[in-house]
Structure 1
Amino acid sequence: MHFELQEIDRAFYDYLRRELVRNNLLPDISILSKADFLLQLKAMIDSPNSKVVEIFGVGNVKDRGAVEVNKITIDRIDISPADIGAWATVHYQKNEAETAYNKYQRPAGTYNLIYQIGYVTDSTVEDRRLLNMVLWVFGTMGCKNGIKEDFSKTENYFDYKQVDFKDNSDGDYFERIFRYSVQNVFITPDTLISDEIGILNEITIEAKNIQDNE
């Protein structure tokens, strides 16, 4: 399947983010302005009766700051060539005006990606909750749609499986790390070969009923 790389990056972030929202652990950035999100987040942090779990996606490094409790971080840690190729394979799509077809060539091959999901907490209760959340959302293997910039889902989906687990806990913090492999996805753009493939508007045929003469 073909994806923009950020659609897969965002998927590992957003499926967990939605679960945090459902559990009242985070405001819903998908329906709030950034200013309103930050106001609600601050109010939750300042409230003694609420719990907050912040989540940081791939590339969101500067905002992570120093190690704090109840934090989930997601990183893409490896990209490697996969086994499936598509050399010279072409496909066609109508242009935006629907007056002709564009002819595209697929990239030469697919890629395997490794994603790392880690969380840090200083509470046994929160450790169990976050561990169960990752297992509930992703499990040992499965498939997910990519997530677009507007938080809608792609039509395509990618397969993944868990390939590693590490426990980096010490005497002060629980730190658990899951690693998931996404296999055989196209992440580089197709090449436009032609944008002048005409659309056949009318077909005229003549049909005859021929019977044997007896």
Structure 2
Amino acid sequence: MYFELAQLDRAFYDYLRRRLVENGYLPDIATLSESNYKTQMQSMASSQKVIEIFGVGSIKARGRVDVNKVVIDRIDISPADIGAYNTKYYKKTSETTYEKRVRPSMTYNVTYQIGYVTDDTIEDRKLMDLILSTFGAMGCKNGINPDFSKTENYFHYRQVDFKDNSDGDYFEKIFRYSVQNVFIYQDTIEDTNICVLKDIDIDTINE
């Protein structure tokens, strides 16, 4: 399956973000304007514990390392097991024409890291449960578009690592998930306006 990297990046962020919203840790940015989101965030923070989540690419927004943050990073892209070198196919572009396309040579495995920091034992357990119940040891998810809608295609993933970097002051846990065998750049177009053969005349001889 083909995905833009942004659709994969956004998937790990948004599936977990939705769970944080469901559990009352965040307002829902998918349904609020930026100003209303910030207003609700401030209101929630004054009366309860808020857990912020930062996706791939939000480096500057993360600020200093602090408690009650979930941070997602894309940490590796490596060739996978499935190849499609020189595989070609035809895609219909009109009622009478097709274009000839070539698949990328290889699929990739893309590794994501989900880490969180908290200073509370109860929150540590809740966050670990949220991550495990959202992604589990393996599974499949749809990619996520900029408008928070899901892609038609879905990708397979599995957990490949876990680290506990906690010290005496903070709980810091890190999960790593590998997205398996996805195309991350599009097919190339080799030829366009290939016409459809409409009439075939065949001479037959009865013997």
Q: Does 1:152 align with 2:158?
A: no
Q: Does 1:119 align with 2:112?
A: no
Partner Cα separation in structure 2 for residue 119 and residue 80 of structure 1: 25
Kindly provide the CA deviation profile for residues 136-190 of structure 1, in whole angstroms up to 9, marking residues without a partner as x.
0000001111111111111111111111110000111100000111111100121
The alpha-carbon distance between structure 1 residues 150 and 203, as it changes in their structure 2 partners (threshold 3 A), is: farther
Give the gaps of 5 or more residues in structure 2: 202-207
| Residue 98 of structure 1, CA deviation | 6.4
Alignment of 1:1-214 (within 5 A): 1-45=1-45, 47-48=46-47, 50-95=48-93, 100-198=97-195
Look up the equivalent residue of 1:18 and give its one-letter code.
R
Question: Which region of structure 1 is more displaced relative to structure 2, 115-124 or 22-31?
Answer: 22-31
Look up the equivalent residue of 2:40 and give its one-letter code.
Q
Question: Which region of structure 1 is more displaced relative to structure 2, 191-200 or 115-124?
Answer: 191-200
Normalising to structure 2: TM-score of the pair? Answer: 0.90
The alpha-carbon distance between structure 1 residues 203 and 152, as it changes in their structure 2 partners (threshold 3 A), is: farther
The alpha-carbon distance between structure 1 residues 91 and 152, as it changes in their structure 2 partners (threshold 3 A), is: farther
Aligned to 1:73, the other structure's residue is in SS state strand
Instruction: Report the number of matched residues.
Output: 203
Partner Cα separation in structure 2 for residue 124 and residue 70 of structure 1: 12
The alpha-carbon distance between structure 1 residues 21 and 122, as it changes in their structure 2 partners (threshold 3 A), is: same
Partner Cα separation in structure 2 for residue 180 and residue 130 of structure 1: 16
Give the gaps of 5 or more residues in structure 1: 206-214
The alpha-carbon distance between structure 1 residues 93 and 148, as it changes in their structure 2 partners (threshold 3 A), is: farther
| Residue 198 of structure 1, CA deviation | 3.5
| Residue 204 of structure 1, CA deviation | 9.2
Kindly provide the CA deviation profile for residues 89-131 of structure 1, in whole angstroms up to 9, marking residues without a partner as x.
1234344x76643332111111111110000001111000000
Identity of aligned residues (%): 64
Partner Cα separation in structure 2 for residue 159 and residue 16 of structure 1: 16
Runs of 4+ in 1 over 6 A off after TM superposition: 202-205
Normalising to structure 1: TM-score of the pair? Answer: 0.88
